[in-house]
Amino acid sequence: MTMTRETPTHESRRRRRAARRTASAVFAAVLLSLGLTSVTVVGASAAEACVAAWSSSAVYVGGDRASYQGHNYRAKWWTQNENPAQRSGQWDVWEDQGACGGGGGGTPTPTPTPTTTPPPGGSGGQAAAPYVYPGWGNPPAPSTVMNATGIKTFTMAFVLASNGCNPAWDGESGLTGGVHAQYIQQVKAAGGTIIPSIGGWSGNKLGPNCSTPEALAGAYQKVIDAFGLTAIDIDIENSDEFENEAVQDRILGALKIVEQRNPGITTIITFGTSTTGPTYYGKRLIQRSKDLGVPIDIYTQMPFDFGGGDMYQATVGATQGLNAELRRVFGWSEADAYKHMGISGMNGLSDQRELTTPETWTKIRDWAKARSLARFTFWSVNRDRGCPNGGVVSNCSGIEQAEWQFTRITAGY
């Protein structure tokens, strides 16, 4: 038999009843008076007591428990307003711990109980991670750049689709055995790590080619498994992914499954912006990530290709706009929102010939560092070489600069 603590108005009746019960029940009552919320009498055959009832407005983090409709549930990760009875499948946020009896009627008090705690953000120690493209733009040897700059992590471009919903570097070379896999081996041999970037502006992408979130998650999982990754970057751009609402939702659904299958993985989503913050599609992406219950770790904007202007002010304005949008959607504080954000710039001349000098990039880095942004990166290491008046090309920045200067600045983040 399971007993639960009654309200003070019932205390006198409880004591009178306890006097007439068996010795074991009296013992349970004594324990109860000491503040225990439930006692199961030894030898009784009964379900575990129900813990505090689930509340749609409460925030639960991994390990918190709640009861709902006669069952106890345990949260696997951060959750809010996700019904345990409906979200307790193999890959869902709640674990059904079986039937319970009694209890569960009090005010929900998950442990810990803050109501404004955001899902865990951060970059898993990989905040400074400039892009490198092994298949283009005279890629430098990883050890050369790492030894010269102190950088430890690269974001590697790009995983695309091959023959339908199959991930492949550049959409053509598979995942292993090609130049990208060799580059990854070289990075690891030099003591570094990589974050794969899936998507990009052009090419045949996985988002449109994988018909369901489950299929897309399977493609992402192949990339994770192939290299034992701890973070992935989904570079969602252009009209086929970023501006396609069905594909946006599919990508978010896939990331939710990936997070469920890979506890602790860092999920990054990278997208374009205006000088004042997210565009319509950026705002939609953020709102839908909340609606679908997808705890994205880092929302990263690409603050360039505005057509001109002061790139420091444009980057700050775009980042402040993203911060405001995250606060609006999630109710986070300014500081918490920054911890879920990233900046992905373009060194030297951008596609639209906007100018970001090493001095400007240093100012941007220091501004971001002061606010503890979770990610700081640029496109790309291939271009991190000087070529004054060289234009917008794949293997240098188009400006006068020292070799690997932007990477060195980034490594100081």
Residues designated catalytic: 237
Task: Please state, in angstroms and rounded to a whole number, the distance separating the CA atoms of residues 116 and 118.
Answer: 6
> In this structure, what is the dihedral angle of CA atoms 108, 111, 114, 117, given to the nearest 10 degrees?
-120
Residues contacting 228, CB < 8 A, separation 6+: none
Question: Do residues 244 and 205 touch, judged by C-beta distance below 8 A?
Answer: no
Task: Please state, in angstroms and rounded to a whole number, the distance separating the CA atoms of residues 374 and 364.
Answer: 14
Amino acid type, 16: R
* CA triple 396-400-401, angle to 5 deg: 80
Phi, psi of 259 (to 5 degrees): -65, -35
* CA triple 366-402-306, angle to 5 deg: 55
Ramachandran sector of residue 275 (left: φ over 0; alpha: ψ -120 to 50; beta: rest): alpha
Task: Please state, in angstroms and rounded to a whole number, the distance separating the CA atoms of residues 43 and 222.
Answer: 50
Question: Do residues 46 and 40 touch, judged by C-beta distance below 8 A?
Answer: yes
DSSP state of 54: P
Beta bridge partners of 346: 379
Token duo for residue 148: 């010269």
Token duo for residue 202: 């052009």
Residues contacting 59, CB < 8 A, separation 6+: 78, 79, 80, 110, 114, 115, 116, 117
For 119, other C-beta atoms within 10 Å of its C-beta total: 20
DSSP state of 56: T
Task: Please state, in angstroms and rounded to a whole number, the distance separating the CA atoms of residues 409 and 365.
Answer: 8
Residue 287: C-alpha distances to residues 46, 214, 330 (Å): 44, 21, 9
